[in-house]
């Protein structure tokens, strides 16, 4: 190392600190550009805001919900089936529990299920897709994709019902069931992207330089798949919540008296149309969170799209 380099000087005009400073400046500029692309469509901001709100509500549920005790065993027949009012903004259900509080807590489980499922499904599915796609045409590809096809062939809801009916009906088992049927979609997505991408010149370049396979998969190819993967993840949050609600609806999800948006819609259905609020508000709750994720997903897609050539 030269004397200048030892002193931190890398070139006549550059020290190591300056390099870091420049790097920081470029990173900030990239963030600014990303935000610009995201915010082109005002609906993306609506989506982002909605999800932010929902997440805050879910995290702070015990402090934000007006009647947190209503999610534990509780009855109050004096106030049962009361329509929306100042005391109970979403009304009360047939045994007197505040629907607003239960919806807020319902968001907890909905988000939890989404995060749990995706936290398992995405790494597993993406990894398998990368390996299969990069080995396109070999036995590894065939093995991985046929296994994936088997899982895809089973109708998802039937699979989930079968699993959930064999095991105890609780949140955890419902999440396991959804996880098992969800990962193939990511494998499929990434497999398609990877088998096309491995012919790109920048991949060939890394290969001719002698980079390891793991470098090529995770450092060269994966960063170019961020956009479709993140977009899918965002939309999937909505889907997982819906599937979870469907499972609860048929009694195979969260066990009562814990609130689940799906169960609430189900049990309130028989009171339609007179005590409409018992079913409608939880249903709207589902709509809001799913729509929020969809709009957020659109925004992410715009933001993460690679710059034009």
Partner 1 sequence: MNEDILVVQDLKKHFVVGHRGRLRREPIAVRAVDGVSFRMRQGETFGLVGESGSGKSTIAYIAVGMYQPTQGSLQFRGQDLFADGLRRPASLRKAIQIVFQDPGSSLNPRRTIRQILELPLRIHRPEVDPLEEVIHLLDMVELPPEYMHKYPHMLSGGEKQIVAIARALATNPSLVILDEPTSALDVSVQGKIINLLLRLQREFQLTYLFITHDLSLMRNVASRVAIMYLGKICEVAETAAFFENPRHPYTQMLLSSIPVVTEQEEAAKPKKITSTGEIPSPVDVPPGCSFHTRCPEVLEICRRVDPAMVQTETGHVARCHLFEQPPEVLAEFTRQVAQLEAMRPQP
Partner 2 sequence: MSPSDTHLLEIKELSVHFRVYGGLLKVLDGVNLHVHPGEKVGLVGETGCGKTTTMKAILRILPMPPARVPQGQIFFKGRDLLRLKDDQMREVRGRGISMIFQDPTAALNPVFSIGQQLIPVIRHSGANGPRRSRAELRQQASAPLREVALADPERLLDSYPIQLSGGMRQRVCIGMALATNPELLIADEPGTSLDVTIQDQVLRLLHDLVESKRTSVILITHTLGVVRQMADRVYVMYAGSMVEVAPTRKLFQNPLHPYTQGLMQAVPRLTGGGVAHGIPGRIPDYLNPPSGCRFHTRCPHVMEVCRQQKPPFFQVDADHHAACFLYAP
Cα 219 to Cα 240: distance, rounded to the nearest angstrom: 29
Cα 111 to Cα 238: distance, rounded to the nearest angstrom: 9
Nearer to partner 1 (CB atom), residue 175 or residue 217: 217
Nearer to partner 1 (CB atom), residue 273 or residue 308: 308
Contacting partner 2 within 176-205 (CB under 8 A): none
Contacting positions for partner 1 (CB under 8 A): 1, 5, 10-11, 13-14, 16, 19, 22-23, 26, 30, 200-202, 204-211, 215, 219-220, 223-224, 226, 306-309
* Residues ≥6 apart with Cβ < 8 Å to 268: 93, 94, 275, 278, 279, 280, 282
| DSSP for 235-285, written as a single string | HHHHHHHHHHHHHHHTT-SSPTTS--HHHHHHHHHTTTTTTTHHHHHHHHH
Asked if residue 274 lies in contact with residue 151, where contact means CB atoms within 8 angstroms, the answer is no
Q: How far is the CB of 32 from partner 2 (least distance, A)?
A: 8
Asked if residue 33 binds partner 2 (CB under 8 A), the reply is: yes
Decide which of partner 2, partner 1, none touches 206; Cβ closer than 5 to 8 Å per partner kind.
partner 1
Nearer to partner 2 (CB atom), residue 209 or residue 309: 309
Q: How far is the CB of 33 from partner 2 (least distance, A)?
A: 6
Q: How far is the CB of 135 from partner 1 (least distance, A)?
A: 14
Nearer to partner 2 (CB atom), residue 37 or residue 198: 37
* Residues ≥6 apart with Cβ < 8 Å to 194: 129, 130, 132, 133, 134, 136, 217, 221, 225
Cα 252 to Cα 167: distance, rounded to the nearest angstrom: 9
Residue 277 tokens, joined: 């609020």
Site string for partner 2, 37-76 (x = CB under 8 A): x---------------------------------------
Q: How far is the CB of 142 from partner 1 (least distance, A)?
A: 18
Query: What residues line the site for partner 2 (CB under 8 A)?
Result: 33, 36-37
């Amino acid at each position: 190392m030269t004397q200048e380099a030892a002193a931190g000087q890398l070139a006549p005009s550059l020290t190591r600190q300056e390099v870091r400073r420049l790097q920081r400046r470029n990173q900030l500029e990239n963030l600014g550009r990303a935000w610009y692309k995201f915010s082109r469509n005002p609906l993306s901001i609506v989506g982002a805001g909605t999800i932010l709100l929902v997440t805050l509500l879910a995290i702070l549920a015990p402090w934000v919900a007006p009647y947190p005790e209503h999610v534990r065993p509780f009855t109050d027949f004096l106030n049962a089936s009361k329509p929306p009012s100042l005391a109970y903004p979403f009304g009360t259900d047939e045994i007197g529990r505040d629907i607003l509080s239960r919806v807020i807590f319902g968001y907890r489980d909905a988000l939890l299920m989404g995060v749990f499922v995706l936290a398992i499904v995405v790494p597993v599915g993406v990894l398998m897709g990368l390996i299969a796609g990069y080995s396109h045409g070999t036995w590894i590809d065939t093995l991985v994709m046929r296994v994936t096809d088997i899982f895809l062939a089973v109708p998802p809801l039937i699979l989930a019902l079968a699993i959930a009916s064999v095991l105890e009906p609780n949140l955890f088992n419902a999440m396991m069931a959804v996880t098992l049927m969800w990962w193939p979609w990511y494998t499929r997505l990434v497999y398609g992207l990877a088998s096309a991408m491995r012919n790109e010149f920048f991949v060939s370049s890394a290969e001719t330089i002698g980079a390891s396979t793991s470098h090529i998969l995770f450092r060269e190819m994966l960063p170019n798949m961020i956009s479709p993967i993140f977009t899918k993840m965002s939309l999937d949050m909505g889907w997982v919540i819906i599937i979870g609600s469907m499972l609860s609806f048929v009694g195979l999800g969260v066990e009562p008296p814990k609130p689940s948006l799906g169960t609430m819609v189900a049990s309130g259905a028989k009171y339609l149309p007179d005590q409409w609020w018992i079913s409608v508000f939880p249903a709207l709750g589902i709509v809001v969170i799913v729509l929020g994720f969809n709009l957020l997903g659109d925004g992410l897609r715009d933001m993460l799209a690679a710059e034009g050539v």
